[in-house]
Chain A
């Protein structure tokens, strides 16, 4: 007989080996670029590949101009609102999938992932077709006599939020589904057996059991949305400009890499700070098994 603890010990000894490739990958393709971006943000100017290595905080001073924090704040609001709506739509859907028979679960999950097979850019252009003045939605509204004139839908904050919710759904549903699917269905019966109706059972059993999935889904949606530029670029207008658009424009049209880097660095710091606070207030691994051995 093999002693299981010794076997586990040997396995733990090999762990660094397993962690090696991802650590290398993240170092080369994440840590180094982030460090470079941070370094750039302190450089006086960088044009056409030639830079003078003059240390300066000028870009950060510029970034704290009221214009930019306002855009950043708007980005946070848009991300929060769109994530909230995504959650509102994703939760019932995840419940429905998790409580379906196994065969149907597979099909429904396939349908959730299906949009990801088409490039986001292509899908966003289809939104233009739907939302434009002579588009599908406006025609339906007019046919139903709800409006007489075409309504401005495209290039509004509404379109941007719609795009975010649409784009994020495939990232919000699976983690919630996984959490609910792992839940022991006997817990629901136990709750009802003890006198709790459906509403109470949902509130006291299903919600806490899905918390880890909700936390994962919210993280997966909120953070990428915060820095996104594609959706506001295509569906939004000038008043729905987000921090991602500002950064992109510094690197592209503006050709002001150091300033773009300063904005990026601020965004990265903000996200990290947010994650730290979030993990402190709510540890997604805590409520599941609950046990500290």
Chain B
């Protein structure tokens, strides 16, 4: 439905968005995820029409809208700080889109009531925006955009200004709202938990480019690049070498200590360097050597960080590189997890099937 074809945006010599190609389907909850300054908001503004691309085209339902002004695009935006009109009541804000399109007054009243009902603000129509809480303002912004029944709703970090609890609650409400209305959502955020919990597909952006575009689980399980692996969740990176490469399996030697076997094609020749990634929750610490179907590296506990539901152990491997292991607080004795001492020498162990091979 929405097609972004090789879109770039340049300010002077700074390239903010670089050769982005994306397709978003009808009724999709699509998320653009990336750190601040990665160009995700600029990409959103290009779709909304507030910016014109330096190159490339944007198509909506097959129609080129690259140079269509924002007020003629069937696309509405929920702004980061809501941008509610401070001199208008809640009613005035929500009715704005219908009023400027000169809909009859009766229809406006009916649809505004309905929209406020949908976002749970019935009865607050006469308030001024300044009299509302952050969460309520957020809902007004949503109602104001949704009342126009746009083809696409763009949301620019809509939950970033809210308290954590309210933000979490709004996540579910947004997902429900999207499912109920069937409107295509394009949601920009730097918060990977928001992206993972709501989106059907996530595009990870870094330095103006899309690094990977996939459903959340796939993104987490098999990140395509080191950046994605590190930005979505956290990841330990090990430098390894291809030790053996057969037609349907290959082996990677990590830290000159342990050989990891993988099925499939290596995509590289023996001796080539690769990066092996393991997530902190895929690792465990053990006083025993790795057994069958396990790999392990030897190291010394450097630091323990208590985070409530788990303890993060920072372990310095014998080759000098650090590893982070997430240990669930299943057994805490006298304030020590698993009775582990600081400075104790342990094995970092993982199941042979875990981990991803990254080529860059």
Enumerate chain A interface residues (CB-CB to B < 8 A): 184, 186-187, 189-197, 200, 204-205, 208-209, 211, 287-293
Contact = CB atoms under 8 A, between A and B. Distances in A.
Interface in B54-87: 69-71, 75-77, 79, 81, 83-87
Contact of B85 (A205, A289, A291): A205
Most A Cβ at <10 Å: residue of B83, B101, B130: B83
A204 B71 CA distance: 15
8 contacts: A190-B84, A194-B97, A194-B144, A194-B148, A196-B71, A290-B86, A290-B128, A291-B131
B87 A190 contact: no
B79 A190 contact: yes
A291 B142 CA distance: 21
Interface of B: 48-50, 69-71, 75-77, 79, 81, 83-87, 96-97, 100-101, 128-131, 144-145, 148
A189 B70 contact: yes
B100 A196 contact: yes
A208 B85 CA distance: 10
B70 A192 contact: yes
Contacts of B100: 191, 194-196, 200, 204
A290 B83 contact: no
Q: Which 10 pairs between the two chains have the least Cβ-Cβ distance?
A: A291-B130, A186-B83, A194-B97, A290-B128, A190-B83, A196-B100, A192-B70, A208-B87, A192-B71, A193-B77
B87 A196 contact: no
Nearest to B92: A204
Contacts of A186: 79, 81, 83
Nearest to A194: B97
Contacts of B69: 192, 197
Contacts of B48: 189, 193
Contacts of A211: 87
Contact of A195 (B81, B83, B87, B101): B101
Contact of B76 (A194, A197, A208, A289): A194
Contacts of B144: 194
A197 to B, nearest CB: 5
Given A194-B97, A204-B100, A289 B130 contact: yes
A189 B79 contact: yes
Given A197-B71, A291-B130, A187 B101 contact: no
B356 to A, nearest CB: 40
A290 B129 CA distance: 8
Contacts of B50: 189, 192-193
A72 B156 CA distance: 58
B148 A290 contact: no
A191 B145 CA distance: 11
A274 to B, nearest CB: 25
A289 B48 CA distance: 28
A271 B101 CA distance: 43
Contacts of A291: 128, 130-131
Contact of A193 (B71, B81, B84): B71
Given A189-B50, A195-B97, A196-B100, A290 B87 contact: yes
Contact of A194 (B49, B87, B96, B130): B96
Given A186-B81, A196-B71, A291-B131, A191 B86 contact: no
Given A195-B148, A200-B100, A289-B130, A209 B87 contact: yes
A190 B86 contact: no
A108 B209 CA distance: 39
B94 to A, nearest CB: 10
A289 B86 contact: yes
B130 A290 contact: yes
B143 to A, nearest CB: 12
Contacts of A191: 85, 96, 100
A293 B132 CA distance: 10
B45 to A, nearest CB: 8
Contacts of B77: 189-190, 193
B300 to A, nearest CB: 41
A206 to B, nearest CB: 11
A212 to B, nearest CB: 10
Contacts of B86: 187, 209, 288-290
A232 B139 CA distance: 57
